[in-house]
Structure 1
Amino acid sequence: MRLIYVLDALVICSWLVGASGAAISNAKVAHLAAVAMVALLWIAVLSLKGARQSQILGVGSDEYKRVLEASLLTAGLVAISVLAIGEPLRAELVLLGVLPGMVTICLERWLLRRILHFRARRGAVLSRVVVVGAANDISYLVRQIRNKSASVYEVVAAVEDTGTSLQLPGVFVSYNFDDLDSLIEAHGADAVMVAGQLQAGSAAVQNLGWDLEATGTELILASSLTNVAGPRIKLRPVEGLPLIHVDPPSFTGTRWWIKRLIDVVLSTVALVVLCPLLGVIAVAVYLDSPGPVIFAQRRVGKAGEGFVMYKFRTMVADAEQRLDELKNFNEGAGPLFKLHQDPRVTRVGTFLRKFSLDELPQIFNVLRGDMSLVGPRPPLRNEVEAYEYRTFRRLLIRPGLTGLWQVNGRSDLSWEESVRLDLYYVENWSVLGDVIIMWHTFKAMVRPAGAY
């Protein structure tokens, strides 16, 4: 934590001093004081926005969001002061100081996150936790922590309070709630995480919080609101009763139009920039095997409406006709058909699939409005016919060229995990989240996993 304070301060001071170089060289005391005040304001706003809270460090996009919000608020306050005061404040402090400094702080946090993940692979974590709750809740929570938050939390022990058999590799499991204090001490835990409803009821959570006060151990409650992210959850205490308000997901309004504008602009730019590459791939597909260069397939889009999705052909021309003879060898999850070694895939197709280059023609679908750059995976009609009730929520927004499924393993995902990721995106999408997913997609293309 202290390292983050120091690094933030160094970045802020460096950019503000650099933006005010001319004035400082003339040793204007008033301007030096103004620069110092802006630096202190920026550091304070970062703290007020919670950009250094341990709960958000190392995982998710909330850390970056708070840095951006705090920096833009600082820029706004400085801009207003420039208009109101003039000298000694200058517009350069915003244009050449705060705005590029904001990007640098995000880069600093990204680098720290990489270091944190590197250390996590060698056993270093921010918090060691003991998980308490029912068997199913504990298993799900531990699995998600190991998959998504391994650099932040390490589950060192668990207390299963219903007496059900629970097996967690590498984790000591107790079935006696009275063992909690000794487990915390024995494993050096600094947090207790409650997974779902305790058998003893809500009073047990309150009593647990009181018991942990003396030890300085943090109490963390895992929300039972599956797939609902923090920004949609608001706590409103009414007469001592903490009520949780859940905002509905957003599928209209300004953010929705911004998402569409980004789709149009970036897809247009991508088509112009990638035109030579698209030409090279088209020639390679044409020369590799007989058949059309583009594979057109009916998919299901927003609100269940069908559309034609385009891809570079990666299989032999009669692949659809040969599907029946391979169905008994299906290795895909749920209603998906996948084979690690599909004999219908061509030589060029193998390369294109590995680096997701076969998906590039879908940029035309994005420009047309059939798809978005980021969204749920575009399903086939037979997949939709096998959907359960909740799975239909995938169709509330346009399917994506990429998405959480693309950057979390693709074909290596189970059907349940693929659905969960898509539903999470539908419920909690944001413009900044889309940008982060696109960045992770680029990394996934460079270092592919689960693509075949």
Structure 2
Amino acid sequence: MFGSRKKEEFSLQALQLLDAFLVWAGFAIASAIRWNVIDQAYSGLGLNPIAWLLFIVVPFTPLTLELFGFYKNTLNLKASAALWKIMQTSAVLGAVVGGCVVVFQLDPSSRLVLGFGGFFALNFVFWRFVWVRNVLRRRVKKGADREKAILVGALEDLADFEAELPASVTDYIEICAQFDLNGRDVLELADLIVEESAQRVIVSPRNVLFDKVGEAVRISEVQGLEVWVAANFVSAQISRPAFDTLGDKPMLVLRSTPELSWALLMKSLLDRCFAFVVILASAPLWVLAGVGIYLSDPGPIFFKQRRAGKYGKEFRMWKFRTMCVDAEEKLAQVKAQMGNQMTGPVFKLDDDPRVFPFAKFLRKWSIDELPQFINVLLGDMSVVGPRPLPVYEVREFEESAHRRRLSVKPGITCTWQCGGRNTITCFEDWVAMDLEYIDNWSLWVDFKIIFKTIPAVLFQRGAS
């Protein structure tokens, strides 16, 4: 919803609290039916057997819905899109609940409570959405709650600025007048505010002296109006603008990477939990790999190499050794004799002579990658992210734009690995896929990449 930030945050929190209550109500009704009507084991709601479940689904349902954009632009969100976001949320929480039941051996109490509780909760949330959307549409149709705003800036820019405002803004705001800062005395803005009974001033500072912008802001705030200053005076193709403070100085911040949020914190937590589970579950494969490497090519079982992490910070990446002990010394010779299948600074060769026979089995099933989960536990890597490159390859980057793939933590799997793996031979295509991942990152994108990686490994698509 368009409006002041505090008003938006209040509306969002109110809807989230309402949805949390509706989720609780759905499971409470299901539990009451289960324990009062069918078994008649309790008098009341009978919530004690599912208390652990409520601690998971009640707070995390609205948070996960927010993650999928359920609360954005409610007015114009289609019912089918809203239902799909609800189904995505139910899938994620269903997996979490199922995992808790298996790992912690929790008592699910009753499949009837889980099934009907989920059904009731999701229906309640969906019909709450339909009701709120209909109320908003009726109010907008009547012209209620539309704020009158004055658009301030250079005359040649104002028409384009207003024309580019999306429906999600114009549904809640009415541009009642335009004020040319270059052609009129700034003091006249005070009279225009009174004349139009304006509630907000929106400033487009492009092609306007900042002294005049500052005076327009001062005149508006003296009259108690909220002032919004557009960041269109900076032409950023990638970065997303936001405002913050440096000490007591207001700053315009341009971010080209995901902003620190609860979703990133959740990613870090899930990374470590997932890595811990994988290491425990794959323990027999570690033994198999260690014995096989020692018998096939005596020497160190693990291979440690300096790789470039987030922002280029070096770390030691762990893998099971799949090449001869002196592989690093032979690299230049192999490049000269057999060439390179990958364009750019990265070296890749399907039939690398440095790989010993048993190691081909490890690579085929991606067993050699398992020790990287140690790096995930240490915080050097993530489960999903751009693949970390050796430090010497990063130093050979020819374009500075390639370094943007270093702006996030490197990962064990990524878009190109689950989609093409060794079939991709152009470094530019590889980087393009990594940057697309960075620009569109979300937890849901990570989940999809993980789900795609599993069959890619099992069916050895693109492996060598």
| Structure 1 length-normalised TM | 0.51
Q: Deviation per CA, 1:20-40, whole angstroms, max 9, x where unpaired?
A: 6788879xxxxxxxxxxxxxx
Shift of 1:451: 2.3
- Alignment-derived partner of residue 254 in structure 1: 262
Residue type at the aligned position of 1:346: F
**Alignment of 1:389 onto 2:409:** no
Length, aligned pairs only: 269
- Alignment-derived partner of residue 54 in structure 2: none
Equivalent of 1:370 in 380, 392, 407: 380
Cα distance change, pair 95–367 in 1 and its aligned pair in 2 (3 A): same
Paired residues of 1:373 and 1:402 also in contact (CA < 8 A): yes
Cα distance change, pair 239–410 in 1 and its aligned pair in 2 (3 A): farther
Tell me how far apart the structure 2 counterparts of residues 433 and 296 of structure 1 sit (CA, whole Å): 29
Paired residues of 2:31 and 2:117 also in contact (CA < 8 A): no
Q: Deviation per CA, 1:289-309, whole angstroms, max 9, x where unpaired?
A: 122110111000011100000
Question: Unaligned stretches of 5+ in structure 1?
Answer: 1-15, 27-44, 54-61, 74-90, 104-232
Residue type at the aligned position of 2:460: P
**Alignment of 1:355 onto 2:352:** no
- Alignment-derived partner of residue 318 in structure 2: 310
Residue type at the aligned position of 1:446: L
Question: Unaligned stretches of 5+ in structure 2?
Answer: 1-28, 40-69, 94-109, 123-165, 176-229, 233-239, 242-254
Paired residues of 2:345 and 2:394 also in contact (CA < 8 A): no
Q: Deviation per CA, 1:226-261, whole angstroms, max 9, x where unpaired?
A: xxxxxxx99645879xx9996754241211111111
- Alignment-derived partner of residue 347 in structure 2: 337
- Alignment-derived partner of residue 99 in structure 2: none
Please list, as runs of the form range in 1=range in 2, the aligned pairs for 1:137-286 lying within 5 A after superposition.
Answer: 236=169, 248=255, 249-286=257-294
Tell me how far apart the structure 2 counterparts of residues 357 and 251 of structure 1 sit (CA, whole Å): 33
Tell me how far apart the structure 1 counterparts of residues 84 and 37 of structure 2 sit (CA, whole Å): 31
Shift of 1:64: 5.9
Tell me how far apart the structure 2 counterparts of residues 364 and 235 of structure 1 sit (CA, whole Å): 46
**Alignment of 1:416 onto 2:428:** yes
Q: Deviation per CA, 1:389-444, whole angstroms, max 9, x where unpaired?
A: 22211111110011112111122222122111111111222122212211111111
Tell me how far apart the structure 2 counterparts of residues 440 and 290 of structure 1 sit (CA, whole Å): 35
SS in structure 2 of the partner of residue 311 of structure 1? strand
| Structure 2 length-normalised TM | 0.50
Paired residues of 2:317 and 2:375 also in contact (CA < 8 A): yes
**Alignment of 1:300 onto 2:308:** yes
Q: What do you get for the CA RMSD once the two structures are aligned? A: 4.2
Paired residues of 1:330 and 1:339 also in contact (CA < 8 A): yes
**Alignment of 1:429 onto 2:441:** yes
- Alignment-derived partner of residue 327 in structure 1: 335
Instruction: State the identity as a percent.
Output: 38
